[in-house]
């Protein structure tokens, strides 16, 4: 298995027989000549031979761009979308909160975001891949206690649903938000995730270009139990073979 970090929460994952694309947006969908996954861009010609699954977690502009539907021209492509996007694209596999969708070649389990949209757990080609989208513990400094307590309750509930869905397996590859705007609370989500389930590789996402977040996770005392599983990212287009 191989993955590319494209930008923000946009990633590409190559399994034995599929290419999974998550939360493509903006510049990721505007390759210049000679640019492709290794530059953090999606070039249709580069992936034309792949069996492609495109996942959209929600409609925020840092996770979604309608230009993604231009990939419909690929020979083999399917879009997995939250239900509300059915007004933009008719041929998608539409998903609701906390639902399991069984395809001939994959099983997709969804989780209700603590913001909007979905998180995804994908079982495909013998691998378990988790992409949180905006499912995170959004504890904001200065926010009312009622809001932050509700975030805690909802996030921990979804982590229990994730634990149940995973069972006694380890997730092979997990993409989990670590948003530096949350300041000292930015590790709440990834820590609670790691307490709920085991993951062989954990990739921070949603960090707005601040790659130092990866080292912050690895060096944080509260992350000591899973720090060795955290992938350190350095640039867009960086790839890792697992």
**Residue ranges per domain, the chain?**
2-241
**Single pTM value for the model:** 0.98
DSSP output for the chain: -EEEEEETTEEEEE-SS-EEEES--GGGG-PPTT--GGGT---GGGGTTS-EEEE-----TTT--GGGGGGGGSSSEEEEEEGGGGGT-SSSEEE-TT-EEE-SSEEEEEEE-SSSSEEEEEEETTEEEEE-TT-S----TTS-HHHHHHHHHHHHHHHHHHHHHHTTSPEEEEEEE--GGGGGGTTHHHHHHHHH--EEEEEEE--TT-THHHHHHHH-GGGTTTGGGBPPP-STT-EEE-
Block means of pLDDT (10 residues each) for the chain, 242 residues, are 98 98 98 96 97 98 97 98 95 97 98 98 98 98 97 98 98 98 98 98 98 97 98 98 97
Q: At what angle do helices 188-196 and 145-166 cross, to 10 degrees?
A: 30
**d(Cα 122, Cα 20) in Å, to the nearest integer?**
10
Q: Are 140 and 152 within 8 A, CB to CB?
A: no
2-241 carries CATH number 3.40.50.1820: no
Per-residue tokens: 210: 């601040």
- The pLDDT value given to residue 123: 98
Q: Distance between CA 233 and CA 203 in Å, rounded?
A: 8
Q: In the prediction, which pLDDT does 124 show?
A: 98
């Amino acid at each position: 298995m191989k993955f590319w970090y494209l930008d923000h929460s946009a990633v590409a994952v190559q399994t034995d027989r599929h290419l999974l694309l998550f939360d493509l947006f903006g510049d990721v969908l505007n390759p210049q000549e000679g640019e492709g996954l290794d530059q953090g861009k999606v070039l249709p010609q580069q992936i034309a031979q792949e069996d492609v699954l495109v996942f959209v977690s929600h409609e925020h502009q840092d996770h979604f761009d309608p230009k993604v539907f231009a990939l419909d021209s690929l020979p083999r492509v399917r879009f997995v979308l939250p239900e509300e996007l059915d007004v933009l694209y008719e041929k998608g596999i539409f998903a609701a909160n906390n639902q399991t969708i069984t395809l001939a070649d994959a099983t997709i389990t969804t989780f209700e975001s603590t913001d909007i949209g979905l998180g995804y757990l994908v079982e495909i080609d013998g691998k378990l891949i988790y992409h949180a989208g905006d499912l995170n513990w959004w504890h904001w400094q200065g926010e009312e206690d009622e809001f932050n307590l509700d975030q805690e309750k909802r996030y921990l509930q979804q982590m229990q649903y994730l634990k149940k869905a995973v069972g006694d397996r380890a997730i092979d590859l997990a993409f989990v938000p670590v948003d530096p705007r949350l300041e000292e609370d930015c590790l709440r989500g990834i820590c609670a995730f790691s307490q709920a389930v085991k993951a062989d590789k954990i990739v921070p996402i949603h960090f707005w270009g601040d790659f130092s977040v990866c080292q912050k996770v690895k060096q944080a005392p509260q992350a000591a139990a899973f720090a060795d599983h955290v992938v350190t990212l350095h640039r867009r287009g960086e790839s890792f073979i697992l």
